């Protein structure tokens, strides 16, 4: 009897919990089918590896000791969904080549660990007839249909620690500190870490800000005898004027002013409007690095094990999810092309406003 062959790839940005999920899926398959009846094929560098047949046969020992390890043992690479069906100068038909690799490796199923772009490509391959199961990864927590993605809680912990540490220097120097948190389209990471870290002002993409109201919030704190302010800014935050622009026009205007995100501009504007010494802090990729938290290790293990169950049930064309505290799954067709945004009336936004946090609106 031929072995069950399962391909696994990680695509897009890295984050804590990828290895824990890979481990959960592999151990789940070994347990459900038997180590001698399943073969795991590791695909290097995401969909790029699937396009170029960069694969390796893995053994159970390869998944030992990776529960706590950050990053991904399979390596990852960004291969934009919008280019998947475009034949570029190399004359490579990416979809055709991915299907060829799937068949050449004699895969029975492909597990794709990634964010929104990964889920779009996973759905594309599913519609092309491949057996695909997705697993939701992103520190942005913006995949539709799941309460949480693995990697998010660890990033919240790291971002919160950054804000905690900035508090002491802000207090010591009586400064306004503007901390840029990753999150280009969705503000979940900034919202959670901002509230957990005690930020005074939280600016996210979904709630365009008025810089004068942000400055007023800083001045109000000073009038109350508070010598410093902490502003948590999502990298995708925009003011009300920018929110009316199309993305290309907005990015062109920013480039002409010499910046990519609003953080440096906010820093300069706050200093000008308030007269207070203001500094910007950009932890950047630190938020993606390091060992996953205990929460993410458990979540990743649950997600990986659920993927193994779906393989046994031959339930393909789905992505694993957590809904109302239970591990379940959604159809890839329902998840692809959708993004989970923070709503202005989200419970956490209301909580923030109720305790005096300004969102600049």
Rounded to the nearest angstrom, the gap between the alpha carbon of residue 272 and the centroid of all alpha carbons in its chain is: 34
* Strand ranges across the sheet with 318-323: 55-58, 38-43, 4-10, 109-114, 132-136, 318-323, 326-331
Helix axes 152-173, 188-196, angle to 10 degrees: 50
pLDDT at 350: 97
Catalytic entry in 54, 62, 90, 140? 140
Q: DSSP characters for 138-196?
A: -TT--BTT-S--BTHHHHHHHHHHHHHHHHHHHHHHT-EEEEEES-SS--HHHHHHHHH
- pLDDT 10s digit of each residue in the chain, 361 long? 689 999 999 999 999 999 999 999 999 999 999 999 999 999 999 999 999 999 999 999 999 999 999 999 999 998 899 999 999 989 999 999 999 999 999 999 999 999 999 999 999 999 999 999 999 999 999 999 999 999 999 999 999 999 999 999 999 999 999 999 999 999 999 999 999 999 999 999 999 999 999 999 999 999 999 999 999 999 999 999 998 988 889 888 888 888 888 999 999 999 999 999 999 999 999 999 999 999 999 999 999 999 999 999 999 999 999 999 999 999 999 999 999 999 999 999 999 999 999 999 9
What is residue 1's predicted lDDT score, i.e. its pLDDT?
63
What is the reported pLDDT for 45?
97
d(Cα 273, Cα 182) in Å, to the nearest integer?
Answer: 26
CA angle 133, 296, 189 (to 5 degrees): 95
- Neighbouring C-beta atoms of residue 156, cutoff 10 Å: 27
Does residue 216 carry a catalytic annotation? no
**CA distance to 274, 284, 358, per residue, from 231 (Å):** 14, 16, 9
Any bridge partners for residue 326, and if so which? Answer: 323
Phi, psi for 220 (deg, rounded to 5): -60, -40
- How many other β-carbons are positioned within 10 Å of the β-carbon of residue 295? 16
Sheet of 229-234, strands arranged across = 201-203, 229-234, 176-181, 278-281
User: All domains of the chain, ordered by start, with CATH?
Assistant: 4-150+292-335 (3.40.50.450), 155-287 (3.40.50.460)
Tell me the whole-structure pTM to 2 decimals.
0.94
Whether 137 and 303 have beta carbons less than 8 Å apart is answered as no
| The two structure tokens encoding residue 43 | 């695909």
CA atoms of 72 and 96, how far apart (whole Å): 26
What are the beta bridge partners of residue 150?
137
Take residue 153 and report the two structure tokens written for it.
């809680």
Task: Tell me phi and psi for residue 265, to 5 degrees.
Answer: -65, -45
């Amino acid at each position: 009897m031929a072995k069950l062959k399962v391909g696994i790839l990680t695509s897009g940005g890295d984050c804590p919990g990828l290895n824990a999920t890979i481990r959960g899926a592999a151990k789940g398959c070994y347990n459900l089918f038997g180590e001698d009846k399943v073969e795991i094929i590791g695909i290097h560098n995401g969909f790029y590896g699937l396009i170029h047949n960069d694969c390796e046969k893995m053994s159970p020992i390869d998944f030992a000791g990776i529960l706590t390890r950050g990053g991904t043992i399979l390596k990852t690479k960004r291969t934009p969904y919008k280019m998947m069906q475009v034949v570029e100068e190399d004359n490579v038909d990416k979809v055709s080549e991915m299907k060829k690799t799937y068949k050449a490796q004699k895969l029975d199923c492909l597990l794709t660990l990634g964010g929104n772009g990964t889920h779009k490509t996973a759905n594309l391959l599913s519609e092309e007839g491949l057996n695909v199961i997705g697993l939701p990864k992103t520190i942005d927590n913006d995949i539709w249909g799941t309460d949480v993605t693995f990697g998010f809680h660890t990033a919240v912990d790291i971002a919160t620690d950054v804000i905690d540490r900035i508090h002491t220097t802000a207090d010591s120097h009586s400064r306004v500190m503007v901390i840029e948190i990753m999150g280009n389209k969705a503000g979940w990471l900034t919202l959670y870490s901002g509230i957990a870290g005690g930020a005074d002002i939280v600016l996210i993409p979904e709630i365009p800000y008025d810089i004068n109201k942000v400055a007023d919030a800083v001045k109000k704190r000073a009038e109350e005898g508070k010598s410093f302010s902490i502003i948590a800014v999502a990298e995708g935050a925009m003011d009300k004027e920018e929110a009316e622009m199309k993305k290309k026009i907005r990015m062109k205007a920013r480039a002409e002013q010499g910046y990519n995100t609003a953080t440096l501009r906010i820093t300069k504007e706050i200093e000008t409007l308030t007269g207070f010494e203001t500094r910007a802090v950009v932890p950047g990729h630190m938020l993606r690095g390091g060992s996953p938290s205990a929460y993410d290790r458990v979540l990743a293990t649950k997600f990986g094990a659920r993927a193994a169950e779906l393989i046994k049930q031959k339930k393909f064309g789905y992505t694993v999810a957590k809904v109302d505290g239970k591990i379940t799954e959604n159809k890839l067709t329902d998840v692809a092309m959708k993004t989970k945004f923070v709503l202005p009336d989200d419970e956490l936004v209301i909580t923030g406003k109720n305790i005096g946090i300004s969102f600049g609106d």
